[in-house]
Structure 1
Amino acid sequence: MIDWSAVALLLASLGGGDAPVGAHEPLQLAQVSIRQQIIIRVPVRSRKVAPPKPSPVEWKESRGPRCVAAGTIAGASLLGQSSVDLLLRDNSRVRAKLENACPALDYYYGFYISPNPDGQICADRDVIRSRMGGQCEIEAFRRLRPAPRD
Protein backbone atom coordinates (compact mmCIF):
# COMPACT_ATOMS: atom_id res chain seq x y z
CA MET A 1 0.00 0.00 0.00
CA ILE A 2 1.38 3.42 -0.98
CA ASP A 3 1.08 6.35 1.39
CA TRP A 4 0.25 9.09 -1.12
CA SER A 5 0.65 11.89 1.43
CA ALA A 6 4.27 10.85 1.96
CA VAL A 7 4.84 10.74 -1.82
CA ALA A 8 3.33 14.21 -2.20
CA LEU A 9 5.62 15.59 0.55
CA LEU A 10 8.65 14.02 -1.10
CA LEU A 11 7.77 15.43 -4.53
CA ALA A 12 7.08 18.87 -3.05
CA SER A 13 10.47 18.90 -1.33
CA LEU A 14 12.25 17.85 -4.54
CA GLY A 15 10.15 20.02 -6.85
CA GLY A 16 12.27 23.19 -7.40
CA GLY A 17 9.23 25.51 -7.66
CA ASP A 18 9.59 29.28 -7.14
CA ALA A 19 10.40 29.15 -3.42
CA PRO A 20 13.94 30.04 -2.37
CA VAL A 21 16.22 27.25 -1.16
CA GLY A 22 15.73 26.57 2.56
CA ALA A 23 12.20 28.00 2.64
CA HIS A 24 10.64 24.56 2.72
CA GLU A 25 9.33 23.16 5.96
CA PRO A 26 11.54 20.43 7.42
CA LEU A 27 10.58 16.86 6.52
CA GLN A 28 9.27 14.97 9.54
CA LEU A 29 9.69 11.23 9.92
CA ALA A 30 7.65 8.82 12.06
CA GLN A 31 8.13 5.24 13.19
CA VAL A 32 5.42 2.58 13.27
CA SER A 33 5.72 -0.55 15.43
CA ILE A 34 3.74 -3.66 14.61
CA ARG A 35 3.15 -6.19 17.39
CA GLN A 36 2.19 -9.76 16.72
CA GLN A 37 0.25 -12.02 19.08
CA ILE A 38 0.14 -15.79 18.82
CA ILE A 39 -2.82 -17.74 20.17
CA ILE A 40 -2.84 -21.51 19.92
CA ARG A 41 -6.20 -23.25 19.59
CA VAL A 42 -5.93 -26.76 20.96
CA PRO A 43 -8.45 -29.30 19.66
CA VAL A 44 -9.93 -31.51 22.34
CA ARG A 45 -11.22 -35.06 22.23
CA SER A 46 -13.84 -35.40 24.90
CA ARG A 47 -13.55 -38.42 27.15
CA LYS A 48 -17.25 -38.27 27.91
CA VAL A 49 -17.86 -40.42 24.83
CA ALA A 50 -16.39 -43.49 26.46
CA PRO A 51 -15.22 -46.43 24.37
CA PRO A 52 -17.28 -49.60 24.83
CA LYS A 53 -14.41 -51.39 26.55
CA PRO A 54 -11.76 -50.01 28.90
CA SER A 55 -8.39 -49.10 27.48
CA PRO A 56 -5.66 -51.73 27.99
CA VAL A 57 -3.34 -48.95 29.22
CA GLU A 58 -3.61 -47.12 32.51
CA TRP A 59 -1.80 -43.80 32.83
CA LYS A 60 0.40 -43.31 35.90
CA GLU A 61 1.27 -39.78 36.96
CA SER A 62 4.78 -38.77 37.94
CA ARG A 63 6.57 -35.52 38.56
CA GLY A 64 6.26 -33.31 35.49
CA PRO A 65 8.07 -30.35 34.01
CA ARG A 66 7.51 -26.79 35.14
CA CYS A 67 7.04 -25.67 31.52
CA VAL A 68 6.05 -27.22 28.20
CA ALA A 69 7.12 -25.78 24.84
CA ALA A 70 3.97 -24.52 23.10
CA GLY A 71 5.13 -25.82 19.73
CA THR A 72 5.22 -29.41 20.98
CA ILE A 73 1.48 -29.56 21.78
CA ALA A 74 -0.34 -31.63 19.14
CA GLY A 75 -3.72 -31.99 20.84
CA ALA A 76 -5.51 -32.50 24.12
CA SER A 77 -7.91 -34.80 25.86
CA LEU A 78 -10.38 -33.34 28.34
CA LEU A 79 -10.63 -35.30 31.60
CA GLY A 80 -13.12 -33.14 33.41
CA GLN A 81 -13.17 -29.71 34.97
CA SER A 82 -9.89 -29.97 36.87
CA SER A 83 -7.34 -31.34 34.40
CA VAL A 84 -6.46 -31.65 30.72
CA ASP A 85 -4.11 -34.19 29.11
CA LEU A 86 -1.81 -32.55 26.57
CA LEU A 87 -0.73 -34.84 23.73
CA LEU A 88 2.76 -33.88 22.58
CA ARG A 89 4.32 -34.31 19.14
CA ASP A 90 6.75 -36.95 20.45
CA ASN A 91 3.74 -39.13 21.46
CA SER A 92 4.20 -38.43 25.16
CA ARG A 93 1.52 -37.01 27.46
CA VAL A 94 1.52 -34.34 30.12
CA ARG A 95 -1.42 -33.67 32.42
CA ALA A 96 -2.16 -30.02 33.17
CA LYS A 97 -3.70 -29.81 36.65
CA LEU A 98 -5.90 -26.72 36.87
CA GLU A 99 -6.02 -24.58 39.99
CA ASN A 100 -9.82 -24.48 40.13
CA ALA A 101 -12.60 -26.38 38.42
CA CYS A 102 -13.04 -24.99 34.94
CA PRO A 103 -16.64 -25.71 33.89
CA ALA A 104 -16.36 -23.65 30.70
CA LEU A 105 -14.03 -26.26 29.15
CA ASP A 106 -16.92 -28.73 28.87
CA TYR A 107 -19.13 -26.41 26.83
CA TYR A 108 -17.07 -26.20 23.63
CA TYR A 109 -14.54 -28.73 22.41
CA GLY A 110 -11.27 -26.85 22.46
CA PHE A 111 -9.48 -24.12 24.32
CA TYR A 112 -6.82 -21.48 23.78
CA ILE A 113 -3.34 -21.12 25.19
CA SER A 114 -1.37 -17.90 24.71
CA PRO A 115 2.33 -18.63 25.10
CA ASN A 116 4.60 -15.94 26.48
CA PRO A 117 7.39 -14.53 24.31
CA ASP A 118 9.64 -17.36 25.53
CA GLY A 119 7.38 -19.89 23.72
CA GLN A 120 6.70 -21.85 26.91
CA ILE A 121 3.49 -22.72 28.75
CA CYS A 122 4.36 -22.75 32.46
CA ALA A 123 2.60 -23.84 35.65
CA ASP A 124 1.78 -21.10 38.17
CA ARG A 125 2.13 -18.53 35.38
CA ASP A 126 -0.10 -19.31 32.39
CA VAL A 127 -3.80 -19.95 31.94
CA ILE A 128 -6.02 -22.02 29.70
CA ARG A 129 -8.80 -19.97 28.13
CA SER A 130 -12.04 -21.64 27.17
CA ARG A 131 -13.71 -20.79 23.88
CA MET A 132 -16.59 -19.41 25.96
CA GLY A 133 -14.35 -16.77 27.56
CA GLY A 134 -13.45 -18.23 30.96
CA GLN A 135 -9.91 -18.92 32.07
CA CYS A 136 -8.27 -21.36 34.47
CA GLU A 137 -4.73 -21.14 35.80
CA ILE A 138 -2.43 -24.12 35.32
CA GLU A 139 -1.32 -25.26 38.78
CA ALA A 140 1.12 -28.03 37.80
CA PHE A 141 2.15 -30.41 35.03
CA ARG A 142 2.35 -34.15 35.66
CA ARG A 143 4.10 -36.52 33.26
CA LEU A 144 1.98 -39.52 32.23
CA ARG A 145 3.52 -42.93 31.66
CA PRO A 146 1.61 -45.95 30.34
CA ALA A 147 1.30 -48.88 32.72
CA PRO A 148 -0.44 -52.07 31.54
CA ARG A 149 -3.57 -53.06 33.42
CA ASP A 150 -3.50 -56.26 35.42
Structure 2
Amino acid sequence: MPIPKPVPALLLLFLAAPTGAQQQRMGPPQGETVRTEVRIQRIIVRVPRMDLTAASAAPALPAITWVEKRTDRCVPVANLAAVSVTRPDSVDLMLAGGKRLRARLEDDCPSLAFYSGFYVKPTSDGMMCASRDSIRSRSGGQCRISSFRMLVPSR
Protein backbone atom coordinates (compact mmCIF):
# COMPACT_ATOMS: atom_id res chain seq x y z
CA MET A 1 0.00 0.00 0.00
CA PRO A 2 1.56 3.36 -1.00
CA ILE A 3 2.36 5.86 1.73
CA PRO A 4 0.36 9.08 1.27
CA LYS A 5 2.41 12.24 0.67
CA PRO A 6 2.10 15.05 3.24
CA VAL A 7 -0.23 17.86 2.25
CA PRO A 8 1.34 21.36 2.30
CA ALA A 9 0.11 23.56 5.16
CA LEU A 10 -1.14 26.27 2.76
CA LEU A 11 -3.31 23.70 0.97
CA LEU A 12 -4.73 22.51 4.30
CA LEU A 13 -5.53 26.12 5.22
CA PHE A 14 -7.27 26.58 1.87
CA LEU A 15 -9.25 23.37 2.26
CA ALA A 16 -10.31 24.30 5.80
CA ALA A 17 -11.67 27.71 4.74
CA PRO A 18 -15.45 27.87 4.32
CA THR A 19 -16.77 27.82 0.79
CA GLY A 20 -18.74 30.73 -0.69
CA ALA A 21 -22.04 28.93 -0.08
CA GLN A 22 -21.12 28.26 3.57
CA GLN A 23 -20.14 31.89 4.06
CA GLN A 24 -23.47 33.09 2.61
CA ARG A 25 -25.44 30.81 4.94
CA MET A 26 -23.42 31.86 7.97
CA GLY A 27 -23.25 35.54 6.99
CA PRO A 28 -21.40 38.19 8.95
CA PRO A 29 -22.31 38.76 12.59
CA GLN A 30 -25.16 41.20 13.14
CA GLY A 31 -24.05 44.76 12.33
CA GLU A 32 -20.48 43.81 11.35
CA THR A 33 -18.77 43.74 7.99
CA VAL A 34 -16.32 40.91 7.36
CA ARG A 35 -13.42 41.51 5.01
CA THR A 36 -11.12 38.67 4.02
CA GLU A 37 -7.96 39.21 2.07
CA VAL A 38 -5.18 36.76 1.32
CA ARG A 39 -2.01 37.84 -0.45
CA ILE A 40 0.66 35.42 -1.48
CA GLN A 41 3.57 37.31 -2.90
CA ARG A 42 6.90 35.59 -3.33
CA ILE A 43 9.15 36.17 -6.28
CA ILE A 44 12.55 34.55 -6.58
CA VAL A 45 14.85 34.75 -9.59
CA ARG A 46 16.79 31.56 -10.33
CA VAL A 47 20.19 31.95 -11.98
CA PRO A 48 21.29 28.60 -13.47
CA ARG A 49 24.79 27.19 -13.58
CA MET A 50 26.48 27.63 -16.95
CA ASP A 51 26.29 24.37 -18.94
CA LEU A 52 29.79 23.28 -19.91
CA THR A 53 28.77 20.10 -21.80
CA ALA A 54 28.02 22.00 -25.02
CA ALA A 55 31.30 23.88 -24.74
CA SER A 56 33.26 20.65 -24.16
CA ALA A 57 31.99 19.20 -27.46
CA ALA A 58 33.63 22.06 -29.40
CA PRO A 59 37.32 21.97 -30.34
CA ALA A 60 39.62 23.00 -27.50
CA LEU A 61 40.39 26.70 -27.32
CA PRO A 62 43.23 28.25 -25.37
CA ALA A 63 42.33 29.05 -21.76
CA ILE A 64 41.29 32.64 -21.10
CA THR A 65 42.97 34.48 -18.28
CA TRP A 66 40.58 36.99 -16.71
CA VAL A 67 41.66 40.31 -15.23
CA GLU A 68 39.48 42.00 -12.62
CA LYS A 69 38.57 45.67 -13.13
CA ARG A 70 36.60 48.08 -10.96
CA THR A 71 32.89 48.34 -11.72
CA ASP A 72 29.62 49.55 -10.25
CA ARG A 73 28.46 48.11 -6.95
CA CYS A 74 25.05 47.11 -8.40
CA VAL A 75 23.90 45.05 -11.38
CA PRO A 76 20.34 44.76 -12.76
CA VAL A 77 18.87 41.37 -11.82
CA ALA A 78 17.24 41.17 -15.27
CA ASN A 79 20.73 41.05 -16.85
CA LEU A 80 21.81 37.86 -15.02
CA ALA A 81 22.06 34.91 -17.41
CA ALA A 82 24.21 32.22 -15.74
CA VAL A 83 26.72 31.51 -13.00
CA SER A 84 30.03 29.68 -12.95
CA VAL A 85 32.04 28.69 -9.89
CA THR A 86 35.75 29.10 -10.62
CA ARG A 87 37.17 30.13 -7.23
CA PRO A 88 36.37 29.24 -3.61
CA ASP A 89 35.68 32.84 -2.56
CA SER A 90 33.51 34.06 -5.45
CA VAL A 91 31.13 33.22 -8.29
CA ASP A 92 31.37 34.47 -11.86
CA LEU A 93 28.17 35.92 -13.30
CA MET A 94 27.50 35.87 -17.02
CA LEU A 95 25.31 38.79 -18.08
CA ALA A 96 23.02 39.21 -21.06
CA GLY A 97 25.16 40.74 -23.79
CA GLY A 98 28.24 38.66 -22.98
CA LYS A 99 29.78 40.64 -20.11
CA ARG A 100 31.16 38.80 -17.12
CA LEU A 101 31.27 39.88 -13.46
CA ARG A 102 32.85 38.32 -10.42
CA ALA A 103 30.77 38.51 -7.24
CA ARG A 104 33.14 38.24 -4.29
CA LEU A 105 31.52 36.62 -1.27
CA GLU A 106 32.09 37.43 2.39
CA ASP A 107 35.00 35.66 4.09
CA ASP A 108 32.94 33.06 5.92
CA CYS A 109 31.05 31.86 2.86
CA PRO A 110 32.60 29.40 0.37
CA SER A 111 31.18 29.34 -3.15
CA LEU A 112 31.00 25.52 -3.34
CA ALA A 113 27.27 25.51 -2.55
CA PHE A 114 26.50 27.43 -5.77
CA TYR A 115 27.57 24.75 -8.27
CA SER A 116 23.96 24.12 -9.27
CA GLY A 117 23.05 27.82 -9.55
CA PHE A 118 21.56 30.25 -7.07
CA TYR A 119 18.48 32.28 -6.24
CA VAL A 120 18.20 36.03 -5.84
CA LYS A 121 15.37 37.73 -4.01
CA PRO A 122 14.55 40.78 -6.16
CA THR A 123 14.41 44.19 -4.54
CA SER A 124 12.11 47.09 -5.38
CA ASP A 125 14.85 48.78 -7.43
CA GLY A 126 15.49 45.64 -9.54
CA MET A 127 19.20 45.66 -8.71
CA MET A 128 21.54 43.23 -6.96
CA CYS A 129 24.06 45.26 -4.96
CA ALA A 130 27.28 44.46 -3.12
CA SER A 131 27.24 45.01 0.65
CA ARG A 132 23.44 44.88 0.57
CA ASP A 133 22.17 41.70 -1.08
CA SER A 134 22.76 37.98 -0.66
CA ILE A 135 22.63 35.07 -3.03
CA ARG A 136 20.93 31.86 -1.92
CA SER A 137 21.99 28.35 -2.79
CA ARG A 138 19.43 25.79 -3.87
CA SER A 139 20.16 23.87 -0.66
CA GLY A 140 19.07 26.81 1.49
CA GLY A 141 22.32 28.53 2.45
CA GLN A 142 22.98 32.16 1.69
CA CYS A 143 26.02 34.38 1.25
CA ARG A 144 26.30 38.15 1.28
CA ILE A 145 28.03 39.74 -1.72
CA SER A 146 30.99 41.85 -0.61
CA SER A 147 31.91 43.37 -4.01
CA PHE A 148 31.63 43.09 -7.79
CA ARG A 149 34.51 43.11 -10.27
CA MET A 150 34.24 43.29 -14.07
CA LEU A 151 36.15 40.46 -15.77
CA VAL A 152 37.97 41.21 -19.01
CA PRO A 153 40.30 38.90 -20.96
CA SER A 154 43.98 39.69 -20.47
CA ARG A 155 45.90 40.73 -23.55
**TM-score, normalization: structure 2?**
0.69
CA RMSD across the alignment: 2.9
Instruction: Compute the displacement of 1:45 (Å).
Output: 3.2
Write the deviation string for residues 72-129 of structure 1: whole angstroms up to 9, x where unpaired. 10111111221111111121111101112415426x5222221223221110111121
- Summarize the Cα distance change of 1:61–1:104 in structure 2 as closer, same or farther, 3 Å threshold: closer
Bigger Rg, structure 1 or 2:
1
Write the deviation string for residues 41-95 of structure 1: whole angstroms up to 9, x where unpaired. 2111388xxx76532x432211111111111101111112211111111211111
Kindly indicate whether residue 11 of structure 2 is the aligned counterpart of residue 37 of structure 1.
no
**Correspondent of 2:117 among 92, 106, 110:** 110
Tell me the equivalent position of 1:54: 62
Tell me the equivalent position of 1:85: 92
Tell me the equivalent position of 1:126: 133
CA contact (8 A) 1:104 1:134 kept: no
**TM-score, normalization: structure 1?**
0.71
Tell me the equivalent position of 1:4: 21
Higher strand share: 1
- Summarize the Cα distance change of 1:117–1:37 in structure 2 as closer, same or farther, 3 Å threshold: farther
In the aligned structure 2, how far is the partner of 1:72 from the partner of 1:45?
15
Instruction: Compute the displacement of 1:8 (Å).
Output: 3.1
- Amino acid of the residue matched to residue 65 of structure 1? D
Tell me the equivalent position of 1:28: 33
Q: How does 1:64-79 map to 2 (within 5 A)?
A: 64-79=71-86
Contiguous gaps of at least 5 residues in structure 1 = 14-23
Following TM superposition, the consecutive aligned residue runs of length 4 or more in structure 1 with deviations greater than 6 angstroms are none
Higher helix share: 2
In the aligned structure 1, how far is the partner of 2:30 from the partner of 2:88?
64
CA contact (8 A) 1:61 1:142 kept: yes
How many aligned positions are there? 132
Instruction: Compute the displacement of 1:145 (Å).
Output: 2.1
Contiguous gaps of at least 5 residues in structure 2 = 1-18
In the aligned structure 1, how far is the partner of 2:125 from the partner of 2:25?
42
In the aligned structure 1, how far is the partner of 2:35 from the partner of 2:132?
36
In the aligned structure 2, how far is the partner of 1:141 from the partner of 1:83?
10
